[in-house]
Amino acid sequence: MATLDLNDKRILVTGGAGFLGRQVVAALEKAGADPQKISIPRSREYNLCSMTACEHVVQAQDLVIHLAAHVGGIGLNREKPAELFYDNLMMGAQLIDAAYRAGVQKFVCVGTICAYPKFTPVPFKEDDLWNGYPEETNAPYGIAKKALLVQLQAYRQQYGFNGIYLLPVNLYGPEDNFDPSSSHVIPALIRKVHEAQQRGDRTLPVWGDGTPSREFLYSTDAARGIVMATQSYDNPDPVNLGTHQEITIRELVELICELMEFDGEIIWETDKPNGQPRRCLDTQRAEAEFGFVAEVDFRQGLKNTIDWYREHGE
């Protein structure tokens, strides 16, 4: 497979200062990109929901990697579905159009696992993406991001614009978002256990009944996969990025409690939502198309994340 030389490329990374973005920038540099040619637009300077801002940031860029998103866990998705739909759709749609009109060579769009139908045969295959409506709590976010896949395919068909679309599974790792109002399940649980330990609690309340399954991809693995696709994948079909390993929320909570040495009782709040019943990705396309295979062991990745939070999270 042909590999794109990043050395002389001017690369825009939206969301490049975020949790995944910092790892993507590091992976770009490791793959030969010139740090001086990587641009990271900050949200305080550029509101990417504005077309003017999108037009400004894509000028003179060769590659755009679009990671910026308004995103959170079940709580935020229930509280602000309109904001999540509008912000993610407008950011992506306008950025893609501005990039095409500015002559950008390639657009890499990072989508979301939330785009898959609520009931999808496990493991999720990319070809099943349109076979049903997403899980209700995160459907507005998932559909907004999935619309960008349609846009990229349409721009490729009409304009010959080279845009690719990646679907990473739930991410985790050091420097994740541990804010309880917007964090995803792993950082939320780590913080919850830590705070229970600080207070000396003997119980740990957890949303749902523990039966749903999830798959998690360590942030450095995700970043490596994104850069590999940037260099070596040029097709219109979406590609999953994951580990192809499934764990139930119950098993996850028990593992985090074990690693953090919390031996209190877990209280399942069954009146709270479970979210999607199962999530596990078929990862064959990424391996076949650009050789990506996840490397970080889940237990070790969790331990790294817990250690980072204990050191930096307060």
Q: Catalytic site residues? A: 141
Candidates 142, 129, 124; CA nearest to 246 is: 124
Residue 125 is labelled as binding a ligand: no
Residue 7 is labelled as binding a ligand: no
Residue 77 is labelled as binding a ligand: no
Residue 35 is labelled as binding a ligand: no
Residue 170 is labelled as binding a ligand: yes
Residue 92 is labelled as binding a ligand: no
Residue 15 is labelled as binding a ligand: yes
Residue 145 is labelled as binding a ligand: yes
Residue 76 is labelled as binding a ligand: no
Residue 73 is labelled as binding a ligand: no
Residue 124 is labelled as binding a ligand: no
Residue 66 is labelled as binding a ligand: no
Specify binding-site residues for NADP(+): 15-21, 145, 168-171, 184
Specify binding-site residues: 15-21, 145, 168-171, 184, 192, 207, 214
Specify binding-site residues for substrate: 192, 207, 214
